[in-house]
Amino acid sequence: MPADAAAPSGVRPEDTAGLYWLPYATCDDCIAPQAIAAYVAPDEHVARTIRGALDGKLALGLPFVVHTDELGLAPPGIAIVIGAFSTPDGAARAAAASPVIGGLHAQSFAIDKAAPAETPRHVTVVDRGGPVRAWSKADVDAAKAALDETTDADAHATLAAMHAWLLRRLATRPAACTVLPGDLFVVDDSELDWYELAPVRCEGQPAYIDWTQSLLGHAVIVREHGAQTLTQIVGAECDSPIMKTWRYDADGRHDDAAAPPPQVASAKGGC
């Protein structure tokens, strides 16, 4: 927060959704919240019930779902976050005004001193849009091996080219299952194929979807005139995030011809 907290500059937490301040700053002009209001569910079933009950009743982008490991909160569970706030009082009022869902009350949590776990659990949430194909881990491993072995120079030209090649290869394989918008899955940190593929489950077995069909590493931000954007980390170089931004509405993401290409934030070290 700026020194003059009474008159902060930048996007206020109340106009945001997502962990834009962790682990990389996915919104440079957003102010880190002091508190959040959230339901904490003990398992995926209850989390889906709460999320479904709130869908369409809050601002676009809310609720967003993360594991309490990422927020440094205890006891562990799945946080269905209904808002981020500039003050603890704002979070407390929002929690108190929220209905009981699935037998749970919303709570307010201070996060200014949150310390995420070293190997946190995460929650993969399938983004808005249509059904999404998921591929088995075996097919993903085979596609990655084929990418390593290909002599196609263009396949290795850039990180984006490598990712596109991998997706084309996976598209030739039958899907292990189809997941739907709003589906959510608790996953271990070791399962993430960072900024490439997001882990889900097909009949309890590990499977993967394209990273940008998930809400991992994202921020939804209300801009001028009420327009909303979704920014997501889609890569990393030299310990700096590569971020892409879409226009965002009830149907999901939309590429904007006027939008800049993915941007690399200023390097934090490495290169």
**Within-domain flag for 61:** yes
Q: In one letter, which amino acid is 151? A: T
How many Å apart are CA 149 and CA 144, to the nearest integer?
Answer: 9
| Positive or negative: CA dihedral 76, 80, 83, 88 | negative
Whole-number pLDDT of residue 226: 81
DSSP string, 225-265: GG-EEEEEEEEEETTEEEEEEEEEETTEEE--TTSPPPEEP
Q: Which residues contact 5 (CB under 8 A, 6 or more apart)?
A: none
Mean confidence (pLDDT) of the chain: 90
How many Å apart are CA 242 and CA 234, to the nearest integer?
Answer: 6
DSSP string, 67-86: EHHHHT-SS--EEEEEEEES
**Within-domain flag for 240:** no
The rounded radius of gyration (Å) of the Cα atoms in the chain is 19
**Within-domain flag for 81:** yes
Whole-model pTM over 0.85: yes
Is the separation of the CB atoms in 201 and 186 below 8 Å?
no
Tally of structural domains, the chain: 1
| Parts of the chain with a pLDDT under 50 | 1-7, 266-269
**Within-domain flag for 171:** no
**Within-domain flag for 88:** yes
Whole-number pLDDT of residue 260: 57
Strand partners, 107: 38
Whole-number pLDDT of residue 261: 62
> Model confidence over 40-87: pLDDT tens digits?
999 999 999 999 999 999 999 999 999 999 998 988 999 999 999 999
Is the separation of the CB atoms in 67 and 74 below 8 Å?
no
Residue 227 vs residues 82, 89, 249: alpha-carbon distances, Å: 19, 27, 9
How many Å apart are CA 60 and CA 18, to the nearest integer?
Answer: 11
**Within-domain flag for 251:** no
DSSP string, the chain: --S-TTS--SB-GGGEES-TTSSS-S-TTBPPPSEEEEEEESSHHHHHHHHHHHTTTSSTT-SEEEEHHHHT-SS--EEEEEEEESSHHHHHHHHHHSPPBTTB--EEEE-TT----SS-EEEEEBPSSS-EEEEEHHHHHHHHHHHHH---GGGGSSHHHHHHHHHHHHHTSPPSEEE-TT-EEEEEGGG-BTTTEEEEEETTEEEEEEGGGB-TTEEEEE-GGG-EEEEEEEEEETTEEEEEEEEEETTEEE--TTSPPPEEPPP-S--
**Within-domain flag for 99:** yes
**Within-domain flag for 41:** yes
- % residues pLDDT > 70 (the chain): 90
Greatest extent of the chain over all pairs of C-alpha atoms, in Å: 60
> Model confidence over 236-262: pLDDT tens digits?
888 888 999 999 999 999 987 555 566
Domain, as residue range, for 19: 13-123
Whole-number pLDDT of residue 248: 95
